[in-house]
Each structure stands twice: as C-alpha cells, then as structure tokens.
Amino acid sequence: MKLNYKLYPYQSSNPNGKSIGTIIILHGLFGSSKNWVTVAKFLSEFATVYAIDQRNHGDSPHSDEHSIQIMANDLETFLSEEKIQNPILLGHSMGGLVAMYFDLTRPGVVSRLIIQDIAPRSYPFVYEKEIESMSFPLDGFTSRTEIDTEMAKYVKDSFIRQFLQMSLERREDGSYHWKLNVDGINHARRVFDDVFSLDQISKTPTLFLLGGSSEYISESDFTMMDRFFQNNQKVKIPFGGHYIHFTHQKEYLEQLRNWLEKEFR
C-alpha cells in the first residue's frame, strides 16, 4: 500500500549543524500526520522528517486489513520506495507497536527507536465509545459544533473528541465525513493481540518516552521493555498521560532534544 506522508526537510538553525539522517513518525490509533506538525518541525532541526499516515488513517488508502504486522509491511514498502536507509522511528501508541515489531522482525534496518507511551505486549481494544462517537450518520449536520454535541453523548472527554475531530473533514458541498476508515478499524479489534509472541531481541538504541500517569504503562511493562530491547532508556514525564506530545509538549520536546544530542554527539 502506498502511504500518504508529509515531508519536513532538514533545516537546522545552526550553520554548523549536521543532519543525523531521517526520522519517520508513526502516529497512533485514530491519529494522522496532522497531529504531529509541531513535533515534526522541531525534529527537522536534527533530520529530514517524514510524518506518515498509516493505512485507514489520514489521506492514506482504506483497507479491510488492519494489523500491526501489515502496517510494518507498509512501512517496509515506504522505506524502499523513498530509498530511506537506517531511519530513526518515532512511534506513538499503535505506531510504537508498529515500530517495535518492525525492528524486531527486520534487524539492522533501523538506527534508533523512540517509543512513546506503549510497551511490547498485547493491549485490549477498549475504544468502543470512540467508535460509536464516529459511527452515527453525518447527514444533516451543518457545523462541527453540532457534531461535537452529538459525539459528547458517547465520549465525555472534550480533549479526546477534539483529537478525533482532527480526522473530520468538510467537503466542498458543506457535508462532513470521516477520513478514518471507522468501520475497518472497528472490525480489526484484535489489532493489538499477540503481536510480540517472538523470540527476537533488539540491540537498537531505544528511548521509551512515557507519561508518568499513563494508564497504558504499568511497572511490569518495564520487564518486557528490557526483554525485547536490551539497549534502552526509559524517561517518564511527570503527571503526563498518553498524549504527552500535546499535553506536556515543552517537556516532551526537551527530552527528545536531550536524547538525540546524547545519541549523536
């Protein structure tokens, strides 16, 4: 599958700066490259950055097939088509699972991993309310405010609704539609099951950048991180949740800078 992406060319403000290569950003479930503009622009100080729309998200094609393994295949095709070698992968949530699986099953391809708030294990599909909030007919709605009011019947958290609505698009005729393949994702509820039933280990330098208050990470996950990724560093952002690149952006970018400068000094 040919994936849509946004390219951020390397442009350092330091006249003596030197690119560290290529960084690929892999968004999470219900996200897109659109969610990563600020982070991508920041990272373009260090490298050429590609923010990808994974299948069934953003402007990439829709498919009935949706799994971590298939998205890793999509990434492999993307790297081949764009002639990208030894990239750094930054993956959030679902994108982090794709990045970790890709590295474990294709040793030596990736130069570094940055994994945001996810561990190499199975996760339950607990997004029924989000799916419901995007499944009612949009015919007759004339504004985002009206749609948001209806979505609030299913998802109370306004932050999550605003995040989902980044994939809501208005057509030229004034009607609305979801760029996400909501139905396809809904029928892929085992997408996070049994991905890491693997014997492989990775020596790839890996940063686990975690929300200190995230519901996605438990203390037992650290054992799994160490089992699969034997050259890793773990950094917690205090009081941060799953979306630390939004909610704790200053601290998040500071940690990215510190780690990249340490890795490539």
Query: Closest Cα to residue 125, out of 54, 217, 190, 197?
Result: 190
Per-residue confidence (pLDDT) for residue 16, from 0 to 100: 83
CB 52 within 8 Å of CB 45: no
Q: Is residue 40 predicted with pLDDT exceeding 90? A: yes
pLDDT band at 55 (very low <50, low <70, confident <90, very high): very high
Q: Is residue 13 predicted with pLDDT exceeding 90? A: no
Q: Is residue 31 predicted with pLDDT exceeding 90? A: yes
Range of weakest confidence among 59-63, 85-89, 261-265? 261-265
Q: Give tens-digit pLDDT for 121-169.
A: 999 999 999 999 999 999 999 999 999 999 999 999 999 999 999 999 9
CA angle (118 as vertex; 115, 119 as ends), nearest 5: 100
Mean per-residue pLDDT, 28-46: 97
pTM: predicted TM-score of the whole model, two decimal places = 0.97
Mean per-residue pLDDT, 193-213: 95
Beta strand residue intervals within the chain, DSSP E: 5-8, 22-26, 48-52, 88-92, 112-116, 168-170, 176-178, 206-211, 232-237
Per-residue confidence (pLDDT) for residue 214, from 0 to 100: 98
Q: Give tens-digit pLDDT for 70-80.
A: 999 999 999 99
User: What is the token pair recorded at 70?
Assistant: 């298939």
Q: Is residue 176 predicted with pLDDT exceeding 90? A: yes
Q: Is residue 171 predicted with pLDDT exceeding 90? A: yes
pLDDT band at 206 (very low <50, low <70, confident <90, very high): very high
Mean per-residue pLDDT, 214-220: 96
* Intervals of CATH 3.40.50.1820 along the chain: 5-123+192-264
When the pLDDT of each residue in the chain is averaged and rounded to a whole number, the result is 96
Q: Is residue 15 predicted with pLDDT exceeding 90? A: no
Strands 176-178 and 168-170: antiparallel
Look at the domain 5-123+192-264 and name its fold: Rossmann fold (3.40.50)
